[in-house]
Structure 1
Amino acid sequence: MIPLSLKKIATITNGQLYGKDFIINEIVINTKKITLGCLFIALKGKKFDAHIFIKKAVNKGCSAIISQKKINFNISYIIVEDTSIALGKIAAWIRQKINPKILAITGSCGKTSVKEMTKSILERNAKTISTIDNLNNHIGVPITLMRLTKKHKYGVIELGANNPGEIYYTANITQPNVVLINNIYYSHLEGFKSLLGVSKAKAEILSGLKSQGIVIINLDSNHLSQWKKEIKNKNIFYFSIQKKKKVIFFLLISKYMQTKHLLLCVHRLVK
């Protein structure tokens, strides 16, 4: 990540700084990854509360804490209303500060494979960051974005979800220049209830698309008609296997990406 002062982090997160201000070079959420001088964010979820690990984080050498309550240690800390939201705000600020060209990928299956293939192409031309494994939720996406440095030119970010609204949140943190909806199939129905629910949830990725951005859509997707309003007036590329008579797009990310605009080199095959 890029160095940030505690004062700046407090401003970004709408938090209150207690203690001395100094520069932070690393932010962690797991006490197993504590390094000397890092900042530890005590995340709190429905089934866990990392505030119980603050003492352990301090003992292992962290130099500052982001917490939802005051702490009784001789260490600088920032109090915020919600530590998970604070994590997202820091990630969004770093994304805007570095301003790489970002491709965000979602879909019912194949996201990680497409992510890995795309990264392997992009990193031949410039330093590229991507989602580690499948850490694609409201915690994993910010953690990925916080790894950005001034050397990164591209980012390939996977966005997953189990419930409505989750991709909307991560897409607006990511602010992609290009979005890809790989496919729509039956998945996570306990949260989405139906195939239509899956389709609507995946379409949330469009909410974060930057102005003049590119949308890539699988023409074979179920409930494609539900996206008409969201993709209206967008720069759209389609690809298809089943609808060969209509159009097939074979996507290439080439060294032409070195131009000032994120380019999708598209080869059109019409049968």
Structure 2
Amino acid sequence: MIPLSLKKIANITNGKLYGKSLIIHNVIIDSKKITPGSLFIALQGKKFDAHNFIEEVLHKGCSAIITQKKIAFKTNYIIVENTTIALGKIANWLRKKINPQILSITGSCGKTSVKEMTKSILKKYKNTISTFDNLNNHIGVPITLIRLEEKHKYGIIELGGSNPGEIHYTSNIAQPNIVLINNIYYSHLEGFKSLLGVSKAKSEILSGLQSQGTVIINLDSHHISQWKKKIKNKKVVYFSIEKKKKVISFLKILKYIRIKHVSPCTHLLEK
């Protein structure tokens, strides 16, 4: 993370600052991982409330807190309406400030494997950041982007979801230059209800794609006809096992994120 003052963070999150405007170098959401001088964001969910750990993190040397409630202890803190949304706002601000080339990946399966393979290629050329393991939700994506520093030129961001609207939210935080929809298959039907529901949810990744962005789509996916309006006027690259079209190398895909002299390692299909 690049250093930010509490005053700047309050502006980014539309929050109100109490106390001093210290310089923050690290943002933490896990009370067990607090380090001296860090900013703790007290997230609140259906089954947990990190506000219960405020006294603990202060004893551990936390310098400031983002909270939804007033704090009785003497400390520096920012009050916001929703700490989870505040986390996303900080992440999005940093993404735009540092402006790396972002590739966001979604799909019913194989997202993490594709992310790891892509990261292993890109990191040989430029400093690259990526989501940890499969931490691809409304918390994991912002936490990944908050780690961005000036040195990072590429970001590989996996986006997952089990209910409609989740990928829309994380895609608009990441604002990718390139999106990849790996596949559409039966998954998370409790939230998506049907294969068509899965297809619509995964296509939410397109909502955050930058205006001159590129879309990479598995041509064998179900219900891709539903995406026609969303991919209109975009650069679209297809890949397929079942359908026969003009074969291009993975080199052409990486070209979109300004990588040169990479040996082809797979084959894809272009519209």
TM bracket (short chain):
over 0.9
What does residue 250 of structure 2 align with?
251
What does residue 118 of structure 2 align with?
118
Paired AA for residue 175 in structure 1: Q
Identity in percent: 72
Alignment map for 1:142-221 (pairs within 5 Å) = 142-221=142-221
> Given the superposition, is the C-alpha separation of residues 269 and 205 from structure 1 closer, same or farther in structure 2, using an over 3 Å criterion?
closer
- Structure 1 runs of 4+ off > 2 angstroms? 245-261, 265-270
CA RMSD of aligned residues (A): 2.1
> Given the superposition, is the C-alpha separation of residues 160 and 120 from structure 1 closer, same or farther in structure 2, using an over 3 Å criterion?
same
Matches of 2:246 and 2:163, distance apart in 1: 32
Matches of 1:225 and 1:150, distance apart in 2: 39
What does residue 86 of structure 2 align with?
86
Unaligned runs of 5+ in 1: none
> Given the superposition, is the C-alpha separation of residues 99 and 42 from structure 1 closer, same or farther in structure 2, using an over 3 Å criterion?
same
Q: Secondary structure at the match of 2:124?
A: coil
> Given the superposition, is the C-alpha separation of residues 138 and 164 from structure 1 closer, same or farther in structure 2, using an over 3 Å criterion?
same
Unaligned runs of 5+ in 2: none
Q: Secondary structure at the match of 2:238?
A: strand
Matches of 1:19 and 1:7, distance apart in 2: 10
> Given the superposition, is the C-alpha separation of residues 269 and 162 from structure 1 closer, same or farther in structure 2, using an over 3 Å criterion?
closer
Paired AA for residue 86 in structure 2: A
Matches of 1:42 and 1:246, distance apart in 2: 51
Cα deviations across residues 39-67 of structure 1 (Å, max 9, x unaligned)?
00000011111100111111111000000
**Aligned pairs, how many?**
267
Q: Secondary structure at the match of 1:129?
A: strand
Question: What is the CA distance between 1:32 and its match in structure 2?
Answer: 1.1
Q: Answer with 249-258 or 56-65: which moved more.
A: 249-258
Q: Secondary structure at the match of 1:216?
A: strand
What does residue 15 of structure 2 align with?
15
> Given the superposition, is the C-alpha separation of residues 116 and 253 from structure 1 closer, same or farther in structure 2, using an over 3 Å criterion?
farther
> Given the superposition, is the C-alpha separation of residues 221 and 18 from structure 1 closer, same or farther in structure 2, using an over 3 Å criterion?
same
CA contact (8 A) 1:105 1:179 kept: yes
TM-score by length of 2: 0.94
CA contact (8 A) 2:24 2:38 kept: yes
